[in-house]
Chain A
Amino acid sequence: MQIFRVSKGVLLCCVAVGVAHFAGCSAPIRTNEFGKFERSVAAMQSSTHDIFGEIAADARRGLVEGKEFGFAFKPSELMVERNESFDYSIEARTLESMLREMRSSLFDLNSSMKTYAASLNELAGGGEADAARIAQLAADLNTNLQDASSSVNGFIKSRGGAGLELSAQATGVVSTIAAAALESHIEHTRRQSLRRVMSEGQATIDETAALGQLAVKTAASDAYAIYTQWFQLTFNDSYSQRRRTMDGLVAKRDAASATADEIRLIGEIQDEQQIARGKLLDRNDELMNTFDALSELNAAYGKLPPAHAALRKSLDKELSTFDSVREFYGQVERMQRLYKKLSSAN
């Protein structure tokens, strides 16, 4: 006796309608986009760390060369004071120390954001691994049903009964239904969880990105302040005096009245000025490169909240009728493939 006489076509259609209840109402989760989001956040973290490190090193160089914001720290202000065991402090609040502190806090902030982005990607992108596991479960269920059916059938016959024959086709359909229902449930849960957490998290992402941008803008002003201080120290009154001295000596040399010492001094001043100009051009390049890098970083922080919001919105995206049909069709095709795989295994 066959207890499972419903045709596989009818059954598959019933399953498809059930699955479409979940899957047909929204677009598939854009797992690639979540992966890109995670990689972008990770790249932003390392870039931020590198750039802030470079500006802090530049601030240190400025401090060694002379002043900072027109202020020269005394050695006593820069001396480390030990408080307790491993606790220490430095009286001077130097630009380098502030930049390093900001860099360290940014690292913590970006690390937390990176971990969050990785978890989003894990939740969004776990579908493939789960689908493979569910397909395996369906295959195992199919085998187990076959074995159970065979044993029950043999047992009934041995007791003089008519037997209970569950066909390979029937077990295949049952396994397919179970797998499709489980997969749809999980996909639905995954989408709902992402929706909830990302909605809750949007404000935090907005605020975190704003904090990042403020740090980047502050660092750009720091870099310009360091450059300006160096310029002021290099092209100061003494530089102008040396230039005036040279102008006078050049006039004497041209009038053939300069002494050998004076001619040597002209050469020395010319060398000094060339070095200073060369350093100025180098400093200009460094500053412009720093501004370019910080500008990119500022833009990246600016794009973070809309990217997060777009990912969140993609989870809500209503499909057009055509898309819904395509989604529905795709789901059915997928089930059919799974069904064929299970049937051929019997």
Chain B
Amino acid sequence: MSLSTKVEIYEQSVNALARCVKLEAILRDKDDAVNADAVGVKASSLAALAKRLREEIQAQWTQATPAKVTKLKSLNSDLQQEIAAIKRVIDHAARVVKAIGYVDDVIKVAVGLLT
């Protein structure tokens, strides 16, 4: 059974449990102890079902989460690599500009050697 189906059934179980509890309270208000007890028994079995479903949801949900965390981390790592690649391009351009700046010095050295 899929996780979403279990969550849906759990929701329906809890809602049914609440309706039973409300009905039990109404019957007790009307001093109808026999029917109130009968509804109480139904409520107990619904509560047990809800508890079991809740535990199963927990197990299935907890099992599904790490894979998503790993995938998100991998996507983030890809993005960081792209950011670093762009930075490298600009750094490379900066080195080229800096190299052009040395032309002036090279000429001065050359002139010095020739004269």
Taking beta carbons and an 8 Å cutoff, which residues of A are in contact with B?
68-71, 93, 95, 98, 101-102, 105-106, 108-109, 112-113, 115-116, 119-120, 122-123, 126, 130, 133-134, 137, 140-141, 143-145, 147-148, 150-152, 154-155, 158, 178, 182, 185-186, 189-190, 193, 197, 200-201, 204, 207-208, 210-211, 214-215, 217-218, 220-222, 224-225, 227-229, 231-232, 235-237, 239-240, 243-244
A116 and B75 within 8 A (CB): yes
Kindly state the separation between the CA atoms of A278 and B100 in the bound complex, as whole angstroms. Answer: 82
A112 and B73 within 8 A (CB): yes
Quick one: given A201-B75, A207-B68, are A215 and B100 in contact (CB under 8 Å)? no
Is B85 close to A, CB under 8 A? yes
Quick one: given A93-B55, A186-B90, are A108 and B21 in contact (CB under 8 Å)? no
Quick one: given A69-B50, A151-B108, A186-B90, are A232 and B83 in contact (CB under 8 Å)? no
Residues of A within 8 A of B68 (CB): 109, 112, 204, 207-208, 211
Give the contacting residue for B21; candidates A113, A141, A208, A231; CB below 8 A.
Answer: A231
Cβ distance A68 to chain B, nearest Cβ, rounded Å: 8
B58 and A109 within 8 A (CB): no
Kindly state the separation between the CA atoms of A109 and B71 in the bound complex, as whole angstroms. Answer: 10
What's the count of A-B pairs with C-beta under 8 Å? Answer: 196
B111 and A155 within 8 A (CB): yes
Residues of B within 8 A of A189 (CB): 82, 85-86, 89
Taking beta carbons and an 8 Å cutoff, which residues of B are in contact with A?
3-4, 7, 10-11, 14-15, 17-18, 21-22, 24-25, 28-29, 31, 33, 36, 43-44, 47-48, 50-51, 54-55, 57-58, 61-62, 64-65, 68-69, 71-73, 75-76, 78-80, 82-83, 85-86, 89-90, 93-94, 97-98, 100-101, 103-104, 107-108, 110-111
B58 and A101 within 8 A (CB): yes
Cβ distance A73 to chain B, nearest Cβ, rounded Å: 11
A102 and B36 within 8 A (CB): no
Give the contacting residue for A200; candidates B61, B75, B94; CB below 8 A.
Answer: B75
Cβ distance B50 to chain A, nearest Cβ, rounded Å: 6
Residues of B within 8 A of A222 (CB): 54
Smallest Cβ-Cβ distance to B3: which chain A residue: A214
Kindly state the separation between the CA atoms of A32 and B11 in the bound complex, as whole angstroms. Answer: 39
A208 and B51 within 8 A (CB): no
